[in-house]
Amino acid sequence: MALYEHVFLARQDVTAQQVEAMTETYKAVIEANGGAVTKVEYWGVKSLAYRIKKNRKAHYALFNLDAPAKAVAEMERQMAISEDVLRFMTVKVEELEEGPSAMLQRRDRDERERGERGDRPDRAPRRRDDAEASDEAGEEEV
């Protein structure tokens, strides 16, 4: 069987639970046609580079598949019919990536960095704007 990475984008107005139900449905399609889903990752809601079907954001999900081509074709056919799926892409790979994907590694790194900056010192007082300074100068002359 061939190895694939598959990513799909779901509409922004569906809930995370509905996206999880969709992933289970598509996982069942792969398994019913003799394949296996080795990894499922939910990447969350992310902004799109451009509008797709009037959506500015989408839920992203990743599958690692070990399946025959007909199983992937059936899953893609069902995704094309679904109104909740905006886009999908399947790429044939030589080997499947073990552990978390680059997207999840980046999210974990970003969360760690935000936590480290939590105990920064207070900011210095802000400088006055030129408009405020001129207003105060005008008041002093009167």
pTM for this prediction: 0.72
The mean pLDDT value for 1-20 works out to: 92
For tokens 């094309």, the residue is: 80
Quote the Cα angle for 32-5-89, to 5°: 95
The mean pLDDT value for 77-97 works out to: 92
For tokens 């999900």, the residue is: 61
Low-confidence winner among 10-14, 67-71, 100-104, 121-125 (lowest mean pLDDT): 121-125
Rounded CA-CA distance 37/70 in Å is: 14
Instruction: Tell me the domain boundaries of the chain.
Output: 2-95
Contact 52, 58 (CB under 8 A): yes
Spell 9-46 as b/e; 16+ CB within 10 A means b. bbbbebeeeebeebbeebbebbeebebebeeebebeee
CATH code for the structural domain at 2-95: 3.30.70.60
**pLDDT digits over 45-72, tens only?**
999 999 999 999 999 999 999 999 999 9
